[in-house]
Amino acid sequence: MLLLLGLICALSAQALADDLRESYVARLSTRDHFSSKGQRLDSAAAIIRQDRANFHLYNLRDDEDEPDSFFASKANRERLEKLLDQGSANKNAVNRIVNGTPLIKVMVYVDGAGRDYVTVKVISD
């Protein structure tokens, strides 16, 4: 009986675990730091969003940029700031994104309740 209860709890925890929906690597080049209207972007989320718009909409790609399907959607690109707020990027990573041209890894997760969120890690400068 105790073993069965443990198995049920383990399966329930597995069902509630967050799943990686998609991940990709991108170089945040100088052009990704400016909006389509030429305005300097000052938040990490806006820069990452512009990188994906450049990739999917304008076909402006850096050699290290990988494709993704999640941000091919304009609606998902528009949600990026909120998705990052619900996920994580440490302050050092945010600073490096805003003030440099790092190589990043973006991971899109879905939680046990079906909500998406994004985490970002800087791979290198």
80: CB partners within 8 A, 6+ apart: 45, 48, 49, 52, 71, 118
CA 122/CA 125 separation, integer angstroms: 8
State the pLDDT at residue 55: 98
State the pLDDT at residue 85: 85
54: CB partners within 8 A, 6+ apart: 31, 32, 60, 61
What percentage of residues in the chain have a pLDDT greater than 70? 87
State the pLDDT at residue 100: 98
What's the whole-number mean pLDDT along residues 15-24?
86
State the pLDDT at residue 16: 55
State the pLDDT at residue 12: 41
Q: What is the pLDDT of residues 97-111, one digit of tens each?
A: 999 999 999 999 999
Task: Provide the β-strand partners of residue 38.
Answer: none
State the pLDDT at residue 88: 83
State the pLDDT at residue 89: 82
| pTM of the model as a whole | 0.84
- In this prediction, residue 5 has a pLDDT band, given cuts at 50, 70 and 90, of very low
What's the whole-number mean pLDDT along residues 24-44?
97
Residue 100 near residue 12 (C-beta atoms within 8 A): no
